[in-house]
Amino acid sequence: MTYLAHTAHAQLAALWLSCVGWTLTAVALGLIQWRVWLVSDREVISSGVAWVGVWRACFNSFTEVTPGFRVMHCRHIGLTEAFTPPEIVAGQVLMMLSLLTGLCGNAGGVYTLRNVYFGVEKSSPIRLSFFATGALCLAAAVMSLIPLLWNLTSVVTNQTIRFPSDFKMPQAPDSQHVGCGIGVGMVGTFLMPDVVRSRHRPDGTTHSKYFQNKMKALWSFAHNRL
């Protein structure tokens, strides 16, 4: 049985980065700071700042306080509500699918590296397993990137959300900017497909090094022939 553990160090590092990316994507989904609204009327929104996330819209207030909070008012944004914009709906659906797909991809990567490091080569096709892991992580990254870019575009183009009156939100902000939720999600999205960029090779090189070695060998062969 061929010992392959020394050939999978790059894949181990890539899987670790992919897991970090998946964790950041999960964190981004729970953050309320996707859109940061700045308002001048501070009668209800005491700080003049409101946050709109994928699941909730919140702001600090001394007059309207949600039970369970000390100085914050929050309302849930429903998937089927008439006021919910399509980019928020896409965020709720695609981000959840991204987490599920990414979890399957990372679990497959752990299983594959377990087979590599413990020398279980014949029981599973190593290269096919790495390919499946990369495909799942890449699909997860694409699914999370779509709502992130969509919401980013909505903020840049200063699009508003017509919240119902019980949200106590203004019809439109004075100005808005991108919150840390989108930034965290972007970082996580770009980390998840690292498994694809470090495909396993039997000689222990990554895909890029494998290509470079092939080109060097081809150039050496052509030079010797001439």
Ordered by start, the domain boundaries in the chain are 1-195+207-221
**26-35, 101-110, 138-147: least confident range:** 101-110
What mean pLDDT is predicted for residues 104-115? 84
Cα separation, 48 vs 174, in Å, equals 10
Residue 122: predicted pLDDT: 53
pLDDT given for residue 223 in this prediction: 56
Round to whole Å and give the CA distance between 74 and 76: 7
Q: Which residues share a beta bridge with 52?
A: 35, 57
| Mean of all residue pLDDT scores within the chain | 82
Predicted confidence (pLDDT) at residue 28 exceeds the cutoff of 90: yes
At 121 the pLDDT is 54
Asked whether the predicted pLDDT for residue 22 surpasses 90, the reply is yes
Edge-to-edge strand list for the sheet holding 175-178: 72-76, 56-60, 49-52, 35-38, 175-178
What's residue 39's pLDDT? 92
User: Is the predicted pLDDT of residue 124 greater than 70, yes or no?
Assistant: no
Please say if the pLDDT value at position 136 is more than 50: yes
* Average of per-residue pLDDT across 145-149: 97
What is the structure's pLDDT at 103? Answer: 95
Q: What type of residue sits at position 202?
A: P
Of residues 76 and 62, the one with the higher pLDDT is: 76
CATH topology of domain 1-195+207-221: Butyryl-CoA Dehydrogenase, subunit A; domain 3 (1.20.140)
- What are the Cα distances from residue 198, in Å, to 16, 179, 204? 12, 31, 11
Which pLDDT belongs to residue 155? 95
pTM confidence score: 0.78
- Is residue 58 pLDDT above 80, yes or no? yes
pLDDT at 38 over 50: yes
Those residues whose C-beta lies under 8 Å from the C-beta of residue 68, and which sit 6 or more positions away, are none
pLDDT (tens digit per residue) in 156-207: 999 999 999 889 898 889 999 999 999 999 999 999 877 665 554 444 444 4
- Using CA atoms, how far residue 154 sits from 43, 106, 161, 171, in Å, is 27, 31, 10, 15
